């Protein structure tokens, strides 16, 4: 299973809730066709009756087993997951989005910085989380800073502005 977002808001009296999706807007559209979701620490699926994308990254959802506002409130802030293999198109998109995980970042001035541990697409500018020694560094994943990507050897070469790493580590 992999996390797609978290429950962030309840709607109305009949159990509707919103899932804040943790993906770029163009990927979020694909989630409107989900049939089942899973909540953290729950092994049973929640069968979706209805869902619609609301405001680009919010999936307004209704499931069979939640029928009241009180029940919906009880799941607020819980992480939402889907199973690998249940949604082939989404699986392919997620795989493509995460293809740079575990790549090493090599800067033209600083040398090896660390390894990509997470990619945050849910921001105006995509951020790479890099594990460097005992700290996490966030750097923008934008064309202006990337000089080359070596997919075979899992390396991303950068030309980071002087001082960016210092700012990102504070």
CA dihedral 94, 128, 135, 155 (to 10 degrees): 90
Reply yes or no on whether the pLDDT at 66 is more than 80: yes
Question: Residues 33-38: contacts with CB within 8 Å, 24+ apart?
Answer: 33/87, 34/59, 34/82, 34/87, 35/86, 36/82, 36/83, 36/86, 37/4, 37/61, 37/63, 37/80, 37/81, 37/82, 38/1, 38/80, 38/81, 38/82, 38/83
Reply yes or no on whether the pLDDT at 22 is more than 60: yes
Q: Where are the domains of the chain?
A: 2-97, 104-169
Q: How far apart are the first and last CA of the chain?
A: 33
Quote the pTM value: 0.73
> CB under 8 Å to 125, separation ≥6 — which residues?
140, 141, 142
pLDDT given at position 159: 94
Q: Which CATH number fits domain 2-97: 3.30.470.10, 3.30.413.10, 2.40.30.60, 3.40.50.720?
A: 2.40.30.60
pLDDT given at position 170: 55
Reply yes or no on whether the pLDDT at 169 is more than 70: no
The residue-averaged pLDDT of 27-56 equals 91
Q: What is the pLDDT of residues 82-139, one digit of tens each?
A: 998 888 888 888 888 889 999 999 999 999 999 999 988 777 788 899 998 888 999 9
CATH topology of domain 104-169: SH3 type barrels. (2.30.30)
């Amino acid at each position: 299973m992999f996390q797609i977002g978290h429950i962030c808001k309840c709607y109305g009296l009949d159990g509707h809730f919103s899932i804040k999706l943790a993906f770029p807007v163009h990927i979020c559209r694909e989630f409107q066709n989900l049939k089942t979701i899973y909540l953290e620490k729950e092994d049973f699926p929640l069968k979706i009756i209805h869902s619609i994308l609301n405001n680009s990254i919010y999936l307004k959802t209704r499931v069979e087993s939640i029928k009241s506002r009180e029940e919906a409130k009880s799941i607020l802030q819980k992480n939402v997951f889907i199973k690998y293999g249940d949604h082939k198109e989404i699986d392919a998109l997620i795989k493509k989005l995460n293809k740079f995980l575990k790549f090493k970042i090599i800067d033209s001035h600083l040398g090896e910085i660390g390894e990509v541990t997470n990619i945050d697409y849910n921001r105006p500018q995509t951020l790479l989380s890099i594990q460097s020694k005992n700290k996490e560094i966030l750097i923008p994943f934008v064309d202006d800073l990337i000089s080359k990507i070596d997919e075979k050897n899992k390396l991303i070469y950068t030309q980071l502005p002087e001082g960016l790493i210092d700012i990102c580590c504070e």
